[in-house]
Structure 1
Amino acid sequence: MAQTQPTTVPKLEDPKIGFNTYAERLNGRAAMLGFIIALAIEVLTGQGALTWLGLISP
């Protein structure tokens, strides 16, 4: 006996919370921006991130 297949695909809304495409893309962009800013500050000040945090002395 052959099974019938659905003819339409339901349109589901993106979830408002949790892991979704928009949230992951936004998080990735924020991480890249933060990394570039951290590198720029290190180059401009000559001190590393551990020095900024006060974990080691300059």
Structure 2
Amino acid sequence: MVSDTQPSVTPRLEEPKFGFNEYAERLNGRAAMIGFLIMIAIEYFTDKGVLAWLGLQ
């Protein structure tokens, strides 16, 4: 006979140190936002786009 009871104690699991975890995703998102804002600021002050920075235009 199978019991439908739930365990009384939930195991405490550590966050993984590598790979996709909440801390890494939050840090990556913040770095992307900062990089995007810096890119927009440089384009505004230099009047050149990303392709001009790379010498492709």
TM-score, normalised via structure 2 length:
0.92
Aligned length: 56
Distance 1:29 1:17 in 2: 18
Q: 1:18 — aligned with what? A: 19
- Structure 2 segments unaligned to the other structure (5+ residues): none
Please identify runs of 4+ aligned residues in structure 1 that moved more than 2 A: none
1:12-51 superposed matches below 5 A: 12-51=13-52
TM-score, normalised via structure 1 length:
0.90
Distance 2:46 2:52 in 1: 11
Distance 2:35 2:14 in 1: 30
User: Offset at 1:51?
Assistant: 0.3
User: Offset at 1:5?
Assistant: 2.0
Q: CA RMSD for the aligned pairs?
A: 1.0
Query: Which sits farther off after the overlay, 14-23 or 4-13?
Result: 4-13
Same amino acid, percent of matched pairs: 64
